[in-house]
Structures are given as C-alpha cells and as structure tokens.
Amino acid sequence: MVDETPPDSSQADEGETNATENAYWRDNLRLLLTLMSIWFVVSFGAGILFRDWLDQFSLGGYPLGFWFAQQGSIYIFMALILYYVVKMRSLERKYDLDD
Amino acid sequence: METQTLIYIFVGLSFAMYIGIAIWSRAGSTKEFYVAGGGVNPVVNGMATAADWMSAASFISMAGLIAFLGYDASVYLMGWTGGYVLLALLLAPYLRKFGQFTVPDFIGTRYYSKTARVVAVICLIFISFTYIAGQMRGVGIVFSRFLDVSIFWGVIIGMGIVFIYAVLGGMKGITYTQVAQYCVLIFAYMVPAFFLSFMITGNPIPQLGLGSQVNDGSGLYVLEKLNLVLTDLGFGQYTDGSKSMIDVFCITLALMVGTAGLPHVIVRFFTVPKASDARKSAGWALLFIALLYTTAPAVGAFARINFIDTVNETSYAQAPDWFKNWESNDLIAFQDKNNDGVMQYRSGDAFEGAPVFAEGTAASGAREVTNTPNADSENEVYVDRDIMVLANPEIGNLPGWVIALVAAGGLAAALSTAAGLLLVISSSISHDLLKSTFRPNISEKGELLAARLAATAAIIVAGYLGIYPPGWVAQVVAFAFGLAAASLFPAIFMGIFTKFMNREGAIAGMVTGLAFTFGYIFYFKLANPEANVAENWLLGISPEGIGVVGMVLHFIVAIVVAKMTARTPMDVRRLVDSIRVPRGAGEAHAH
C-alpha cells in the first residue's frame, strides 16, 4: 500500500493554514486512511491474497474468494464512496467549510 | 420483421438521436467546449462518465475475456472499478476545486512550470491515441458484422457522427449524447443477460444467476458445472487462475491507478458545479458502471456454457446459423483434424496463429483453413473471444430485436468513448499547447476555432488508425493504463496531498515513470516479443502490471529530488491549501 498513504508533510504545513482548516484536513486524512484500508482489504486481500483460503467457504454457488474478486469487491467500492460522501458532508458542516 | 431491417432501424434511430442532441447543445464558448459550462448535474455527469469509461472493450470484449480466462479476468473487474474509489476519495473533489479545464492545467499550475505542463500533454496524447485506435476497431467490427458494410465505410460513418457532436458541441454536446449512449448501451447489455440467466438458471437476475443452480436437473451450481465441463475437455478450472499471484496483484493495481489517472475520465469531473458534487458524481459513475461490470461475469460464464453445449461434438452440417455467420466474418474457424465431420472443442490451439482461409470448402463443409494444424491438441475449433457478447443473443436464440439492440449498444459504447478521448486531445492542444504555452495572446474565438480544428484532425487520425490498424494496436493497450499509473496519477496525487513536492521533483518523477514503463512495455511487446515469458519478467511482473513498478519509482525519484532542491513557492502552498477545502469552488484561480 505504498501509494495511498500521503507522505508526511505535517511539519511543512505548520503556520500556513488556519486551525479550522488544519483540523478539517486531519479528520479527512484519518477518514481516507480507514476507507482506503477497506478498499485494499476487500480487493487485494479477499480477492487476491487470501482468495485460496476464502474459497473453502461459499456464498450460494460462489466460492467466497471468487465472489469477492468478481462481485463483492465492486459492491463494497460503491458503499465506500457513498459513506465518504455522507461523512464528508457532515465534516464540512461541522467545520463550516461546505461549498 | 427481418432481423437485418430491425438492426437498420435501431442503429438509425440511435444515430438520429445523437445528432439531434448535438444540434440542441452546441457550444458557444471555450468554457462550454472544454467543461460543458461547468454546470452539469452530478447524476447526469455520473451517467456520462460511465458511457465515457465503458468502451468497445468493456461492452464487446470483456465478457468474452471473462468467459475464456475465468478467475484471471478478475483483474479487469476489480481494476476497472476500484479506480473510481481512488478518483472519488483522492482526486476528483480537489481537481474540481482547483477549477481549470484540463489535467495539464493542474500539473502546469501546481508545479509552476511550462515544462511540466508539456510533459503532461505528451503523456495525455500518447495515452489517448492508444485508446482511441481500439474504439475505432470496435466500430469497424460491429459495422461489418451487423450492417453489411465494409470496415472502411463503417469507420467513415462512425467518424462522421462523432465529428458532428464532438466538433460542434464540444464537452457540452458530448455530455448529453453520452447520457443517451449510456441508456442505449446498458439496456442492450442487460436484456440479453436477463434472458440468458433465466434460460440457464431460472433466475433472471444475472448477478444471482451466476451463484445459482443450473436448471438442467443436475442440481449443480453454475460454477461447479463449468469447472466440471472444462476439466473434462482438458481446460483448467474456471474458478482457478493460471497467472501468478504477484502478477494478478500488480495488474489489478496498475489498472486501478491507471483508471484514476486517465485524462478523459478525470476531465469529466471538471464539469460539475462544486467540489462536493465531484465526489457524488464519482459515486454515481461507479454505480452506473457496476451495473454492467457485475453482470459481465455472469454473461461470460453463461456464454461459455452455452458455447460448449451447442458446439462441442456437433457435426458441422448441423452447426447453428450464428456459427456460420461468424465463420464468414473470419472470427470462427473449424479445422476437421480427425476427418469425422464433428466439431471437437478442447483445450489448446486448434492450429497455429489466426485462421487463414482459402477459397472453397473442406470435406466437412466448413471453410477451408490453410494453417498448420497443432498436433499437440485435439481441439478443432478456433473462436475469437470478442464475439461472445455480440453472438450471445444468437447463441441463446433470442428474438431479432435483441440482436438489433446489441448492435446499437456496441456502437454507442465505442462512439461515446471515442468522443471523450477526442475532446481531451483537442483541448490539450488548443488550451495547453496554444493558449497556455506557445500563443498566450490567442483570442477566445481563436482558441475555440483551434479546439475545433484539433478535434477534426484527431478524428481523421483516429479514423485512419481504425481503417488501417497497425499491428501493434492490440499489443499496446497495456500502455494506456501503465503510463497513466506511472506518470499522471502520482504527480496529481502528490500535488494535492503534499506541499513539499516541487517542480524539479514532479518533472523528474513523471519522466522516470514514463521512461521506465514505456521502455519495459516496448521491450517485451514490440522489440523482443519472444522474450515475453514469466522467466524474463522483472520480479515476475508482466508488461500489463509493470505500471505499478513505474509508479513506485516515480514516487521515490520525485521525493528524493524534491528533498534536494528548492522549497515550493509560497503562492503554490496557498494554492494547495485552497484546493483542500471545498468552500469557494467555481472561482477560477489565477495562473
């Protein structure tokens, strides 16, 4: 997961943004990290790395790992975006930064 | 009514609709031409993004690939949908807040450099032309099979239609035609899928059908039956793959990141009114895309079962009509190696290479094939994977109007993607190269004219590539995603999420990612294709997945160079602050 963790630039950020915007941005990064971890686990984890092990279980006629790779990961991707849209709206209202 | 007449009616009606929409939504300013005026509803934009994204490859080829690759095809399903999570969470809202017209706009401004902008334009043009050649080939295939015109005239007609709405309407015309095209293509994809699923499992919902029992009384699940039938014929299990885990991992990641870095997809998010709308819109886009992408695995599996049931151990004399139709289009061939007149479908190639047909017929009644038979396999049937979706309604004996609908759907998919690509090419030339780099004094009218001329030139080049496809087209699709993943995505990502990334780092990173990925794919796909086997690959990663390594190199080189060179200027740091918060979107930022 080298690509989605933003390189640490917190020291460089200091003094250039106001406190509200900083707090908003930190909350956003925390939320992003959580959601990107789920993104990684359902596709690369369940659909690829642990597929063989998951295939011993089944969901209807689907071996579970195969289901994650060809169906489940896509449903969860949609849920992730939906959750992010809703959560960000409330974050932006909380910090009074909505557009 | 005859099927052929129905096809003409469906395709003709859909074309008339696209032209009508184009005339209704002509672009009058550069803002309308580049980003449809910036006031597109997020749901409408989501639908247009879905049509833009789902190309001839998604509509025509993907289910066929899944049918023949089984589990290995998961890389496309996850790769081409997971990228939207990256778009919605990491790129789209910030790029919208930045509020310019093109991807090189962002790179040029954030890295305060004309060189960076030009490097981005080069990446963009290379990615888009690779992609567009494939769309025009799709148009050619659909026209020649369904409309009985030559590929030459098929491509000319397709170019004419795209010309009308892309050149007149710009992004505004494209957006609303893409909405119509999405409706046509998704309807055309789902109807045969419902029929097939109901026929094979008794459950009309394909996503559920694939997990259900086959209704032939055997009590087997669809995937169990496929595994059983395929192992009998000498194939590997459908639910197992043959690619190594690291390769599956890297290809999936390269496709995801590549998707998020594709300029014609990113630019769609410049058209919505606000940053929060860009997030919403990416969600809608994924929903509309997922409808087709979760159906495709079912269509692929059903098509494979149907194909084996109808073809294997059938005598050629009794082969169904569709088999002979596609044979006459060179996409199916039968070489009766054991001279029993019966088609044996097994694992392995029937003969060497793509079929070369001679005049006249063989003893079996099939068209004479002159290729050297492959003695290692009992297989006698050659089938091009691309025909699966197009042939499905015929294989399933569905009514004529379904076949006509699929023809119109295939054309909608190819045309919508081609138009989106043409637009990013033309705006990168007229806006990034002319207006922002070489002719800053050009007037608004002059820029709009330049954009239209660039779009016209791009259509002509694309048409030429479609009529005379160079041999390398099919070989280099990996380029588009690999290059987008290794060049554009990291530069945009670091431009938003870091402040320390500076001009020097970004240029060094883009050039490194581009050169490494280009070199690796060029070597294995074009310069030395014989060496393209797993033993020779770097870390066992195929050219399709190498964009991941290019991306990692991009990050490392960019960070090291940035740490060694000058600090980013204060106004760029303020720009980063302002794109991170949604308030105030819509105002353009000064260059």
Is A99 close to B584, i.e. CB distance below 8 A? yes
- Per-residue pLDDT at B86: 95
Is A36 close to B257, i.e. CB distance below 8 A? no
Give CA–CA dist B299/B64, Å, rounded. Answer: 8
Contact residues, chain B, for A63 at CB < 8 Å: 223, 239
Mean pLDDT of A5-23: 59
Is A66 close to B581, i.e. CB distance below 8 A? no
- Per-residue pLDDT at B94: 93
pTM for the model stands at: 0.88
Cβ-contact B507, B120 below 8 angstroms? no
| Chain A residue with the nearest C-alpha to that of B221 | A61
Contacts of B21 (CB under 8 A, 6+ apart): B165, B169, B173, B176, B177, B180
Helix (H) or strand (E) holding B403: helix B400-427
User: What domain range is A40 assigned to?
Assistant: 10-94
| Chain B residue with the nearest C-alpha to that of A13 | B499
Q: Which of A72, A44, A43, A68 is nearest to A55 (CA)?
A: A68
φ, ψ for residue A57 (rounded to 5)?
-95, 160
Tell whether A94 is within 8 A of chain B (Cβ).
no
Provide the b/e sequence for B521-546 (b: ≥16 CB within 10 Å). Answer: beebbeeeeeeeeeeebeeebbbbbb
Tell whether A25 is within 8 A of chain B (Cβ).
yes
Is B577 close to A17, i.e. CB distance below 8 A? yes
Contact residues, chain A, for B493 at CB < 8 Å: 3, 6
Asked if the structure places residue A88 within a domain, the reply is yes
Tell whether B239 is within 8 A of chain A (Cβ).
yes
Asked if the structure places residue A54 within a domain, the reply is yes
Q: Which of B29, B55, B37, B106 is nearest to B420 (CA)?
A: B55
Is A60 close to B248, i.e. CB distance below 8 A? no
Is B555 close to A2, i.e. CB distance below 8 A? yes
Gap from A94 CA to chain B (nearest CA, Å): 13
Asked if the structure places residue A4 within a domain, the reply is no
Cβ contacts below 8 Å, chain A against chain B, sum to 164
Q: Pick the residue with more confidence: B471 or A73?
A: A73
Domain count across chain A: 1
Tell whether A44 is within 8 A of chain B (Cβ).
yes
Give the ipTM of the model, two decimals please.
0.88
> What's the Cα-to-Cα distance from B377 to each of B90, B162, B294, B353, B387, rounded to whole Å?
49, 45, 34, 14, 23
Tell whether B280 is within 8 A of chain A (Cβ).
yes
Is A2 close to B221, i.e. CB distance below 8 A? no
CB-CB: which of A48, A71, A78 is closest to B287?
Answer: A78
Is A74 close to B585, i.e. CB distance below 8 A? no
Q: How confident is the model at residue A25 (pLDDT cuts 50, 70, 90)?
A: very high
Residue A76: pLDDT over 90: yes
CB atoms within 10 A of CB A37: 14
Q: What is the pLDDT of residues B76-130, one digit of tens each?
A: 999 999 999 999 999 999 999 888 888 998 999 999 999 999 999 988 988 888 7
Provide the b/e sequence for B562-578 (b: ≥16 CB within 10 Å). Answer: beeeeebeeebbebbbb
pLDDT in tens, chain B (591 residues): 678 888 889 988 998 888 888 888 877 788 888 888 888 889 999 999 999 898 877 888 888 888 888 898 899 999 999 999 999 999 999 999 888 888 998 999 999 999 999 999 988 988 888 788 777 777 777 777 777 777 788 888 888 888 887 888 888 888 888 998 899 899 989 998 998 899 888 889 999 988 888 888 788 888 888 888 888 888 888 888 788 888 899 999 999 999 999 999 999 998 888 888 999 999 999 999 999 999 999 999 988 888 888 888 888 888 888 888 888 877 888 888 888 888 888 888 888 888 888 888 888 888 888 888 888 888 888 988 778 888 888 877 788 888 888 888 888 888 888 888 888 888 888 888 888 888 888 888 888 888 889 889 988 888 888 777 665 555 566 678 888 999 999 999 999 999 999 999 999 999 999 999 989 988 887 788 788 777 888 888 888 889 999 999 999 999 999 999 988 898 999 999 989 988 875 444 433
Contact residues, chain A, for B559 at CB < 8 Å: 7
The pLDDT mean for chain B works out to: 86
Cβ-contact B94, B275 below 8 angstroms? yes
- Per-residue pLDDT at B501: 93
Q: What is the pLDDT of residues B167-211, one digit of tens each?
A: 888 888 888 889 988 998 999 899 989 988 998 888 899 999 888
